[in-house]
Amino acid sequence: MKKVLLATSILAATAGFAAAEVTLSGSARMGVIDDFGADNTGFTSRARVVFTLSGETDGGLSFGATFRADNASAANSGDAGEVFISGAFGKLTMGDIDGAAQQVVGNVDGVGLTGLSDLNEAVYLGAGDGGSDPTAAYEYSSGAFTGIISATNPDNNQGALGTDLDSTLALGVKYATDAYTVALGYEDADGDVSHIILGASATFGAISLKANYGQASVGAVDADQYHLSATYSADALSVTAFYTDEEDFVGLGGSGKAYGLGASYDLGGGAKVVGGYAKNDTADTSAVDLGVSFSF
């Protein structure tokens, strides 16, 4: 009888393990860079490992988590990584995630092996200044429509606009098809700060266009930001150009006026040759990089 019970326990435990899954993925890069304001060219390299955990309840609910190995300690306190549960009701996610507006609108395409300071990225209230504090987001999708609401924990780090954002609430809606996407996001934060941003993207054969426009109200002052990118893809080759105008956001987390041009060539097997050039017109500085990126 004891042997039967032991065998049953082992089978039950094995079945439990089969319902859960832990996978590893990663990325790496190596190359050279002449960074903004730097006097000479130097080497740049990086390797990252990502843990992805997933499972399913007896009732059909899916759950999981993901975090980078280098952020393991921060993931333990909610400052990195993310945890989710999803089902017919939608999806609830918590952790170091983007706010609703940023999730639906996103950013235009960037360039370079290293991102070259990510001058293509828009300013969002919930971006934080380095390590964003935990954010909770609820997402519901039906067909081409997606709606998201999010809230950032009170007493978080300073937001991208340099204001003491005790709590940031955001709402985002998106309608996406294979050919085009339109999205609208709204953010409101303590400190008399609000932000509305509209984004759109479309694909015309080998060309993909992305654009967004945002307006923030800080007290009685309004600030505008614009972003545009175009990417041309032909077989293994992709060429991207972008232009941004965040001059109204200078001092509020923006980079001023900037543009960039870059290309990548897919070698297959997860390897790409990537390079780019970016210029910050407002600061009158530029950067260029070139190298190889890998995905695992």
Query: Tens digit of pLDDT for each residue in 191-238?
Result: 678 999 999 999 999 999 999 999 998 877 889 999 999 999 999 999
Q: Is 155 strand, coil or helix?
A: coil
Cβ-based neighbour number of residue 43 at 10 Å:
9
CA 108 centroid distance within chain: 11
Query: Tens digit of pLDDT for each residue in 218-231?
Result: 877 889 999 999 99
pLDDT of residue 178: 93
CATH of domain 23-295: 2.40.160.10
Cβ-based neighbour number of residue 146 at 10 Å:
19
Domain ranges of the chain: 23-295
DSSP per-residue letters across 174-220: EEE-SSEEEEEEEEEETTTEEEEEEEEEEEETTEEEEEEEEEEEETT
Is the pLDDT at 282 greater than 70, yes or no? yes
d(CA 60, CA 112): 42
pLDDT of residue 13: 47
Question: For residues 104-128, b (16+ Cβ closer than 10 Å) or e, as one string?
Answer: bbbbbbbbbbbbbbebbbbbbbbbb
Task: Give, in order, the Cα–Cα distances in Å from 292 to each of 49, 120, 265.
Answer: 17, 21, 9
Query: Tens digit of pLDDT for each residue in 233-264?
Result: 999 999 999 999 998 877 667 788 999 999 99
296: its two tokens? 């695992």
d(CA 291, CA 212): 29
Cβ-based neighbour number of residue 201 at 10 Å:
20
The 3-state secondary structure of 3-37 reads HHHHHHHHHHHHHHHHHCEEEEEEEEEEEEEECCC
Query: Tens digit of pLDDT for each residue in 100-111?
Result: 999 999 999 999
Q: What is the identity of the amino acid at 248? A: D
pLDDT of residue 182: 99
pLDDT of residue 253: 73
Cβ-based neighbour number of residue 57 at 10 Å:
11
Output phi, psi for 143, to 5 deg.
65, -125
d(CA 239, CA 5): 63
The helix or strand, by DSSP H or E, that contains position 74, with its residue range, turns out to be helix 72-75
Which has the closest alpha carbon to 101: 122, 86, 80? 122
Q: What is the identity of the amino acid at 97? A: I
